[in-house]
Amino acid sequence: MSKVVKAKIKLQLSSGSANPASVGSMLGPHGVNLMKFCTDFNNATKDKKGDVCPIILTVYVDKTYEIEYKTPPASALIKKYSKIEKGSSKVQKGGKNPIGFITKASVIEIAKIKMQDLNTMDFDAACKSVEGSARSMGVEVRN
């Protein structure tokens, strides 16, 4: 017999550094044991420390939960590979005045990471999606 789902919560947390103070307001109302959640999350993501880790937390009526881990957002990976702090607030048409650049090899690597969470099975389409995200952030893609 399956458990009754109380809530599905989508969160983006910093890998390996969840604490009850940062997640309490989101998970407390659903009756989740905050210390147990933080320990479970931190142990599962300790090898990716510093990356953003999106999760889907399924909370059941009996206050148990399941965590589904996703890949980091494309924008976070682009910032990491292009070594920039944040994307441009003013993206000019035609890619003039880029704030950084990323290589085609890095785009391919990001697409490989993101492939499992994208809604395409075509690797070229995944690469184009990453390139589009980079352009919208003001990051130029170079060969």
Tell me which amino acid residue 134 is. A
> Most confidently modeled of 36-40, 44-48, 95-99, 139-143?
36-40
pTM summary value: 0.82
Q: What is the mean pLDDT of the segment spanning 7-22? A: 93
Two structure tokens written together for 114 = 């993101």
Last residue of a domain, one of 49, 69, 89: 69
pLDDT tens-place string over residues 50-104: 889 999 999 999 999 999 999 999 999 999 999 998 887 776 665 567 888 999 9
Alpha helices in the chain (DSSP H): 20-27, 34-45, 74-82, 104-114, 123-136
- Taking the C-alpha atoms of residue 4 and residue 12, their distance in angstroms, rounded to an integer, is 24
Three-state SS at 72: coil
Q: Which domain holds residue 40?
A: 5-69
Domain total in the chain: 2
Q: What is the CATH number of the domain that holds 16?
A: 3.30.1550.10
Q: What is the CATH number of the domain that holds 113?
A: 1.10.10.250
